[in-house]
Amino acid sequence: MSVGINSVLMRGRQYEYRNTNTPDRGKSLFERVGRADSCQTEKRVENGRLSAYDAYSCMKASIRGGAVSESLGAQACTELEKVENEKYAVSVYNKDGIKNHWSIYDKTSDKYYRFDPQNTTVQIDSETGKRYLVQEDRLGGLMNACGMDAFLENTLKEFMGVDEIKGSCINERFDITINQYTGIASIRKKGAEGNGACMLVDGEEQTRKLEELANIYMEKYPSLVTSREMAMTYAELEIAGYAFRDENGILTIGIGGMGYMNEKEPDKGWGILYSGFDSSIYSKIVGAFSEGAITQGQVGIIEKWEEWLEKKGVEFKASTIKWDMEKALEKKADMYHTSVRPGDFMCFKEN
């Protein structure tokens, strides 16, 4: 079982679902509509507003109600009782104000994976045959994921009282990327790549490489990375595709903004703010690397980024600011989502 990183900000916390029958249902929807997911990104508009197509998709997802047809909860057909063997323990989780979630305890890694079975499905990679448990929120946004080996699948079958667990092709709605340095896989929702990713750390070797990457941040950027927690955060962001580094500093890309912190010359740090309602902006920014418009030596040059964003028709505002990572980490106590969401780190303070 490859264990998903529960949160860069706060490991182990569970997502707090809103009651869809409350009077604030519409308000909640439009508070989240900026993170609407769509595989058809060409139907998004470029001026920061949400397109009618995305608004419809978001509303359609929010009113689906009940369990997803292929969710684990919908497929279970027996009274649920704890199942335990030499590798896993699966049980119903009703603690800390959370009801009717399921808990998987991986004895090998000594980690728990807890989720709402009504919004969790089995997703199968058509290229590798690997199977994953993927949890989405009520708007279809990616929340968490973990790998599912044959032993865990059989354990879940026994727990659910079924002979087969139905699944769907993960490649239709999600992208899986492999970080070259660590070999760690990340899962993103297609059309919403900038809205967050789930990392899947598989085994001791990948755990060691993750720690090694965190050490690089602490050693190369001592004035920027002042704690082990901060170093791990940057390592996880890099693996998920939201942090890039060069000899002088660190570039981070998130929902609604990007920023560069300069280790050698702090006064040369900068930030660029753009719309947080258009998830396609992330893909455009990352495209600057793949297309060669921004080279390794130009990562921290704001003029190059301004030129690129103007070329792509992205409205933005640039300023000389310092990224307040310590403040971002303080926000973790108020976060409920469980995937790597880069927008949570867009905390700035004026120089």
Residue 315 to residue 296: CA distance in whole angstroms: 24
pLDDT value at residue 296: 87
Is the model more confident about 7 or about 55?
55
Per-residue pLDDT tens digits for 212-230: 999 999 999 999 999 999 9
| pLDDT of residue 192 exceeding 70 | yes
pLDDT (mean) for 308-322: 86
From residue 120, alpha-carbon distances to 13, 65, 130, 135 in Å are 17, 14, 16, 4
Nearest CA-CA partner of 104 in 206, 207, 208, 2: 2
pLDDT band at 3 (very low <50, low <70, confident <90, very high): low
Q: Which residues pair with 142 in a beta bridge?
A: 136
Residue 171 to residue 168: CA distance in whole angstroms: 9
pLDDT (mean) for 303-321: 90
| pLDDT of residue 160 exceeding 90 | yes
- 333 and 221 Cβ atoms separated by less than 8 Å: no
Local structure of 52: helix, strand or coil: helix
Is the model more confident about 254 or about 248?
248
pLDDT (mean) for 171-200: 91
Q: What is the longest distance spanned by two Cα atoms in the chain?
A: 63
Write down the mean pLDDT value for the chain.
Answer: 78
pLDDT band at 14 (very low <50, low <70, confident <90, very high): very low
pLDDT value at residue 137: 87
Residue 154 neighbours by CB under 8 Å, 6+ apart = none
Among the residue ranges 9-13, 90-94, 195-199, the one predicted with the least confidence is: 9-13
High-pLDDT (> 90) share of the chain, %: 57
- 1 and 85 Cβ atoms separated by less than 8 Å: no
Q: Classify residue 193 as exposed, middle or buried by CB count within 10 Å of its CB (0-12, 13-18, 19+).
A: buried
Per-residue pLDDT tens digits for 98-147: 999 999 999 988 889 999 999 999 999 999 999 999 999 887 788 999 99
Among the residue ranges 25-39, 106-120, 176-190, 255-269, the one predicted with the least confidence is: 25-39
Residue 172 to residue 169: CA distance in whole angstroms: 6
pTM, whole model, 2 decimals? 0.72
